[in-house]
Amino acid sequence: MQAAPGWLSCAPPKSCRDGRGGHRTYSARRADQGSHHRDHLAASRRVLAAESGLAARLAGTVRALVDVLAPYHSFAATFYKHAAEPASPLSPFSPQSSPARIASIALYREVIEGSTVRMGPGVRERLPELLWLYSLGITLFWVHDTSDGCGRTYRLIDATVPVVAQLVAASRLPTLRRTLRDLLAVVDQLSS
């Protein structure tokens, strides 16, 4: 895998401050959330147009997410503190965040549908949500990443994406189908 583009880094987020040097308002943060999502979609679509393998498509999409969020890294812990509150409208699971959540899951559906990967029955329908949850885990790791240029986050992506792709491909094996059904049942229980 290649390194993250040099024009993005974990630099202090000038855009996270208002003109007077204070933190932005809730509505400005929500607007940024929509802008980040649009930027992530655009960056991901470039990768999706060029790649057909699941690992390359997923890695490119998750790397694009980190790239888009990178300028806001020093502000991310504060944002995450609010997003982690179950009742917060900033939570990725809140009703207010459902448009962004639905669009993100649709993006991961594009990651799968344009790939050449073969998978077990029932996986294709559920995998977009699981990949979105995976991206949330990567994002949480990124929030706490203090390495230069968030290099540990990119290494985590590079190390875990091939494992995810291998598990998806292995889902065709009869011996793993029961385990997969059990995993999906756990996700269902947590989602309800």
Pair of tokens at residue 118: 């073969």
Domain residue ranges of the chain, discontinuous segments joined by +:
14-191
Query: CB within 8 A of 61, min separation 6: which ones?
Result: 44, 47, 48, 107, 108, 111, 135
User: Tokens at residue 31, please?
Assistant: 């607007």
Q: What is the mean pLDDT of residues 88-102?
A: 89
* Rounded average pLDDT over 69-90: 86
User: Which position has the higher pLDDT, 161 or 37?
Assistant: 161
Of the CA atoms within 13 Å of residue 165, those in its CB half-sphere come to: 19
* Alpha-carbon gap, residue 149 to 120, rounded angstroms: 37
Q: Which long-range contacts (CB under 8 A, 24 or more apart) does 25-28 make?
A: none
Q: Which CATH number fits domain 14-191: 3.40.50.300, 3.90.1170.50, 1.10.357.10, 3.40.50.620?
A: 1.10.357.10
pLDDT tens column, 134-191:
999 999 999 999 999 999 999 999 999 999 999 999 999 988 888 888 888 888 888 7
* Whether pTM exceeds 0.85: no
